Homo-oligomer: A and B are copies of this chain.
Amino acid sequence: MKYQKIPEATIRRLSRYSRCLEEMEESGEEVVSSAQLASRCMVNAAQVRKDLAYFGEFGIRGVGYHVKNLLNDIKRILGSNKEWRMAVIGVGNLGSALLSYKDFLKQNYKIVASFDIDPPKVIGRVSEKLGKPVEIFHVNRLKEIAKERKIEIGLITTPPSEAQSVADLLVEAGVRGILNFAPTQIVVPEGFVVKDVFFTTILDNLAYLLSNN
C-alpha cells in the first residue's frame, strides 16, 4: 500500500477501535473480525479494514485480528502507547474536575502540574482523593515548571479572555499540544497543535438535530 494522507476521521475511529478493543481484552476475547469490531463501533466493516490498511497489515485472512496485538498496534499508531505529560491551566470548576479525572491516567495521559493566577488557590495541592496530589503553581512559573516537568500538552481551563495569553505562555514554554476548553479561537504558530472542546457547539448540534427531526 503506497503512502496516502491519512484522514482525520480515520484517526478518530482508531481511537474508537482502541476503546472497544480494550473492553474486549478485559472480557477475555482473543480474536476479533473486522465485522465484529465494526458492529461494535457502529461503522462499516470495510471501513475498519481500510482504516488499518493505511498503516500496514495487521490481520490474518480467514481468522481476523488478535485483540491484544491490534490494540498495541493502534496505540503505537496513535502515539498513545507512551505516557503523555500534561498540565491544567486554570484550576476552577472545570480544571478541578479534570484534575480528578481517572480515565486520563488509565489512558496514559498524566497531569503532572496545574497553574492558576488566583493567590488563594496557589497554596497547596488538589485532587488528593486520587492518592496522587497535583501541585498548583502560580501561572508566572509556567515556563519554568513546564520545562522542568517535560510538559507536552496543556489543558486550558481559564476564562476565555485569558485563553490566548495562556496559549502564548505555553507556546513560549515549548508545550506543543493544547486542548482548549475556553470558548474562543486560539492562534498558535506552525508546529503547535490546538484542539478545541466547545460544549456549546456540540449542544448547538444537538439543538439542530432536535429541531429538525
A contact set with B: CB distance below 8 Å: 8, 11-12, 14-16, 18-20, 40-42, 77-80, 84, 93-94, 96-98, 100-101, 103-104, 107, 109, 152-153, 176-177, 179, 183, 185, 191, 193, 195, 197-213
- The answer on a CB contact under 8 Å between A97 and B107 is no
Q: Nearest 5 A-B pairs (CB), nearest first?
A: A79-B211, A15-B204, A93-B97, A79-B207, A97-B97
Q: Choose from B14, B84, B153, B200 the contact partner of A104 (Cβ within 8 Å).
A: B200
- The answer on a CB contact under 8 Å between A15 and B201 is yes
- The answer on a CB contact under 8 Å between A19 and B183 is yes
- The answer on a CB contact under 8 Å between B213 and A191 is yes
Q: Which residues of B contact A193 (CB under 8 A)?
A: 206, 209-210, 213
Q: Choose from B18, B201, B210 the contact partner of A16 (Cβ within 8 Å).
A: B201
A123 CA to B69 CA, complexed, in Å = 48
* Copies per complex of this chain: 2
- The answer on a CB contact under 8 Å between A84 and B203 is yes
- The answer on a CB contact under 8 Å between B210 and A176 is yes
- The answer on a CB contact under 8 Å between B200 and A179 is no
Nearest Cβ on chain B to A158's Cβ, whole angstroms: 13
Q: Choose from B40, B79, B107, B211 the contact partner of A208 (Cβ within 8 Å).
A: B79
- The answer on a CB contact under 8 Å between B84 and A200 is no
A197 CA to B20 CA, complexed, in Å = 16
Q: Choose from B18, B40, B153, B205 the contact partner of A11 (Cβ within 8 Å).
A: B205
Q: Which residues of B contact A176 (CB under 8 A)?
A: 210
Instruction: Beyond A179-B203, A193-B210, list 19 extra A-B contacts (CB 8 Å).
Output: A15-B201, A16-B201, A19-B201, A77-B208, A80-B203, A84-B207, A93-B96, A93-B101, A103-B199, A104-B200, A104-B203, A153-B203, A177-B209, A179-B199, A179-B206, A193-B206, A193-B213, A195-B202, A195-B206
Q: Choose from B78, B198, B210 the contact partner of A152 (Cβ within 8 Å).
A: B210
- The answer on a CB contact under 8 Å between B206 and A177 is yes
Q: Which residues of B contact A101 (CB under 8 A)?
A: 93-94, 199
Task: Decide yes or no: A78 and B208 within 8 Å by CB, A15-B201, A101-B199, A200-B107 being known contacts.
Answer: yes
